[in-house]
Amino acid sequence: RTVVSNGYGANIRNISVANAGIDCSDLNSFPALQHLDITGSATCKITHTTARLESVRFGYASEAQWGDWQRNVMEHAEFLRRLLTDHASTLKRLWFGGSFVSAVVYATTLLELDRCEQLQELSLPYCLVPRIQWTLPALKVLNLRAAYGLVDSHIRTIMINAPLLETINLSCTKVSAQAVIELVQRCVHLKSLDICYAAANGAEVLDAILALPPERCFTQIGVSGMTHLEDRHIAGFCRRFGKAITLLGFGGCERITQTVLDVVASHCPNLRSLVIHDLEIPSSAVVAVVQACPRIVHLSPPNPNCAIVNEAAKVYCPNYQPF
């Protein structure tokens, strides 16, 4: 109210009231608004707005908020319907953290995503996935982590209706390896894949990636939790894509040894994120990676209390952010 009363609202393009418990019902005072973050405890009794929103973060921000979020489920669903109706022509990024409890209401609403022809990034973690028939010609980033009800037919629809897809997160889902392999082969722009803890997947997916035509390039792979992966799978990925790789995640892959980290150190100088928790690998091998990859920002070491690795990362990686 203070911002509006002082006449500052007309030029504001970004509003974040995440976890602030603020009522965002009067957005008409912000006609230039493009980016809105109302995750967590912010309320959203939104009415029609003349703003042309491009980016919205919406939903509960942690499991601790499920209760508060559920009490206003119909109100939030109405907000989402309004959003997809009034801003379909401009919306480019939608992050939505759903709840299993309120999933049916949201899933019905999400069927209207087909309106958003300009949508480039869609994040639906932990949501009940509706009958996917969306045609999203501009979509490049899709997050379906732990999406409830996700099946192979959904993946095959995505292959056809999202031709520009570059990044997909299918971690903690039940989709089959065959469906993921088809996705990798048919989505020619795909360069980032997360199938961590997607139990039906494994070595065959990495084999399919390594068998892609030479013009295809991958920059990120997440395969944590796949206990049957061996050194040759991760090492082969690193040798094939080398300098292009920015993220590697193979924590909990118990057969992986120090040999892989030696390959990472010699082939992946542009690495930014490395996830290698729960591995029997000496700290010295991780330190060698840190020394060879100065762009590392995020590192999940074999032992989270490994002071040697953290101290080395602080020295050799200027942008390092400890977990």
Contact 14, 32 (CB under 8 A): no
Contact 179, 204 (CB under 8 A): no
Neighbours of 133 (CB within 10 A): 11
Length of the chain counted residue by residue: 323
Contact 302, 292 (CB under 8 A): no
Local structure of 220: helix, strand or coil: strand
Amino acid identity at 205: V
Which H helix or E strand runs over 248?
Answer: strand 247-249
Which tokens sit at 145?
A: 């982590």
Q: Is 42 helix (H, G, I), strand (E, B) or coil?
A: coil
pTM of the entire structure? 0.89
Neighbours of 80 (CB within 10 A): 24
| Farthest CA pair distance, the chain | 63
pLDDT tens track for 18-54: 666 556 656 677 888 898 887 765 555 555 566 788 9
What are the backbone angles phi and psi of residue 264, rounded to the nearest 5°? -60, -45
Confidence (pLDDT) at 98: 59
Per-residue pLDDT of the chain (323 residues; tens, 9 = 90+): 566 556 667 788 888 876 665 566 566 778 888 988 877 655 555 555 667 889 988 776 555 555 555 566 666 677 777 778 888 889 999 887 655 445 555 666 676 788 889 999 998 887 777 666 778 999 999 999 988 888 999 999 999 999 999 999 999 999 999 999 999 999 999 999 999 999 999 899 999 999 999 999 999 999 999 999 999 999 999 999 999 999 999 999 999 999 999 999 999 999 999 999 999 899 999 999 999 999 999 999 887 667 889 899 999 999 999 76
Whole-angstrom CA distances from 281 to 134, 145, 210, 226, 253 are 44, 28, 25, 17, 11
Residues 7-28: b if buried by 16+ CB within 10 A, e if exposed: eebeebeebebeeeeeebeebe
**CB atoms near residue 31 (< 10 Å):** 14
- Which is nearest to 235 in space by CA: 255, 212, 215? 255
Is 273 in contact with 246 (CB distance < 8 Å)? yes
Structure tokens at 12: 């504001």
Segment 47-65, tens digit of pLDDT:
556 678 899 887 765 555 5
